[in-house]
Structure 1
């Protein structure tokens, strides 16, 4: 095993130290960090050269990990049914954020993009971590996302640990849908 490819336990330690990690998802390798750590978010924004105004996607092992950030009282029964029927799986929903959700997660929006993953590595990581993860693709702007551990290492070097594993084989990233309009954003 490459010395930069890390175990679950080591990646959780890095997360607890407000650091970025990389991990496999349904389609590509992601970059992630503790969603409650402003320091980690600032580092991730800097690495990706990304505006804080865009907000982030959060991924989780289950909805309970996302519930403290989502204002689900604003959702109808049918909207909740639609959301839960698509999870776990590669569907990211744009949902209303609670007022106390950190601005670095929502960006310029009053909503939050969230997904309950069906990918074993993501599930295991989020369960071991005990929280959702910020998730953005492991790539630089205008370049294709990394689909293999080796590509992450070539593109990012020693910047952070890579959680060992394979992507889910999906060709396209997760769908992103607005819960209120049903619109497909991606």
Structure 2
């Protein structure tokens, strides 16, 4: 749990209540900025996210997921500028290929900068990144002012949560905030391809 007394409670955002969506987004963004873990809807399932620059919270998220550090993580963003600090400079053709699929449900493995943290890329020299087309996920990235870690909202080996009730049942108070909303309607996780080899890593 986030220990900062100014951070909203673990149940912030579980319902719109009388507040506006904009206020709810801001509250959940404050949890991220304070070093918390949040759940939010994406194209296919609910995701768990946090500040990718905060090693402590990333390691906490990996422990919650029971996921090894070596596998690496996905980052989502509202636009490419939020991803650029983690990536090597791209050729014109590579930028064109990404632009043709973003915003959208396409995740790419892109070569990372040498200083991209190990807790994000794992044992790889690439990082999985996506400019999301989901309006709430993109709005949350904008409210935070940076990209977010994105991993499915479930314990390793269990089905990903696809709605608020499933997130509550499976993760309960293990997370610090929940941004309610509908997923994008995709029936399976986003396709993952390697940008340079074009190899399909995870099918659509």
| TM tier relative to shorter chain | over 0.9
2:127 maps to which residue? 112
Matched, 1:17 2:34: yes
Equivalent positions of 1:42-81 (< 5 A) are 42-72=59-89, 75-81=90-96
Cα distance per residue 1:107-126 (max 9 Å; x no partner): 00111110000000111000
- The gaps in structure 2 that reach 5 residues or longer are 1-9, 14-23
TM-score calculated relative to the size of structure 2: 0.87
Q: Partners in 2 of 1:177 and 1:5 — Cα distance?
A: 35
Matched, 1:170 2:186: yes
Cα distance per residue 1:90-147 (max 9 Å; x no partner): 0000001011111111100111110000000111000000000000000112211000
Q: Partners in 1 of 2:138 and 2:36 — Cα distance?
A: 19
- Secondary structure of 1:9's match? helix
**RMSD over aligned Cα atoms:** 1.1
TM-score calculated relative to the size of structure 1: 0.95
Q: Partners in 2 of 1:162 and 1:140 — Cα distance?
A: 16
Aligned residues: 182
- Secondary structure of 2:123's match? coil
Offset, 1:77 = 2.2
Offset, 1:83 = 1.2
Q: Is the 8 A contact 1:29 1:148 kept in 2?
A: yes
- The gaps in structure 1 that reach 5 residues or longer are none
Offset, 1:181 = 1.0
